Each structure stands twice: as structure tokens, then as C-alpha cells.
Structure 1
Amino acid sequence: MFAKIILGILIGFLGGVVEDRGPSWRRKTEIISEVLLFFIGLAFLISSFMFGALYGAMAIAEITAGVYAYQKVFRSQKASS
């Protein structure tokens, strides 16, 4: 169970990386990365929902937490004036 939680957070974290770094990549690389990440996330969600709605909801929360963690830690802060 702990490994599944870590995997969900890692998938979300990678989603944040692809979202943030994607525009600086070539268009083809960006599309391939987004599609692969989509299928990985979809497979994770489907496998979680197979065990029950609670695990599926937890998977959504884990992916969201991973994206949020990436944005909080690595995304540059804009200076406010």
C-alpha cells in the first residue's frame, strides 16, 4: 500500500515536470511525453478503482498531491510588486 501511495505521488510529480518543462521541448517530444504520462496515470487510476472507490479517490488525491508538491518546491516564484 505504501508503494502505491509513493507511485501515485511520483506520477503527479512527473506530471508537474512535463507541464512545466514541456514548452521548452520540441513539440513532438512534448506530445509523446504527455501521451505516455496520460496512459500511465490512467492505468494507475483504473488499477486503484478496481480495488474500490476509496482507493480510486485516494489515487486521485495522490496524483494531485504530487503535482502540488512539484509546483510548491520547484516552480519559480514570481516577484510581486
Structure 2
Amino acid sequence: MFARIIVGLLIGFIAGLVEAFGPSMSKKWQNMSELLIILTGLAFIVSSFAFGLIFGFMAIIEITAGFCAYGKVFQPKKTSRSLSR
């Protein structure tokens, strides 16, 4: 169970990474990376729903938490000065 939680968080974290570096990649690689992340996340969610409804919803929450964790940890902080522009 713990391994599934780690995998869900890792999928979300990698999705955040691909989203952040997407503009620096070529359009072809960006599309392929996003497609792989979508398919991997979808397969993880479907396999979690196969174990039960609670596990399926936990998988969605884990991926979302991993994506948000990437944004909190690695995205630059916005200052009040940059918000006023």
C-alpha cells in the first residue's frame, strides 16, 4: 500500500516537472511526454479503482498532491512587487 502511495505521488511530481519544462522542449517531445504521463496516470487510477472505490479516489488525491508538491517546492516564489505589475 505504501508503495502505491509513493508511485501516485511520483506520477504527480513528474507531471509537474513535464508541465514546467514543456515550453523548453520541442512540440513533438512535449506532446509525447504529456501523452505518456496521461496514460500512466490513467492506468494507475484505473488499477486503483480495481481494488476498490476508496483506493481509486486515493490515487486521484495522490497524483494531485504530487503535482501540487512540485509547484510548491520548485516554482519560484511570487513577491508582492511582481504581483502589483
TM-score range, shorter chain: over 0.9
Q: Percent identity?
A: 56
Give the match for residue 48 of structure 2: 48
Give the match for residue 21 of structure 1: 21
Question: Counterparts of 1:1-81 in structure 2 under 5 Å?
Answer: 1-81=1-81
Structure 1 unmatched runs, 5+: none
Distance in 1 (alpha carbons) for counterparts of 2:64 and 2:16: 10
Alignment length, in residue pairs? 81
Give the Å deviation of 1:77.
Answer: 1.4
Name the Cα RMSD after superposition: 0.7
- Runs of 4+ aligned residues of structure 1 deviating over 3 Å after TM superposition are none
- Residue identity matched to 1:78: K
Structure 2 unmatched runs, 5+: none
Structure whose alpha-carbon radius of gyration is higher: 2
Q: Secondary structure at the match of 1:76?
A: coil
Give the Å deviation of 1:79.
Answer: 2.4
Distance in 1 (alpha carbons) for counterparts of 2:55 and 2:44: 11
Q: Secondary structure at the match of 1:33?
A: helix
Q: Per-residue CA shift, 1:5-41, capped at 9, x if unaligned?
A: 0000000000100111101111001000000111000
Give the Å deviation of 1:78.
Answer: 2.3
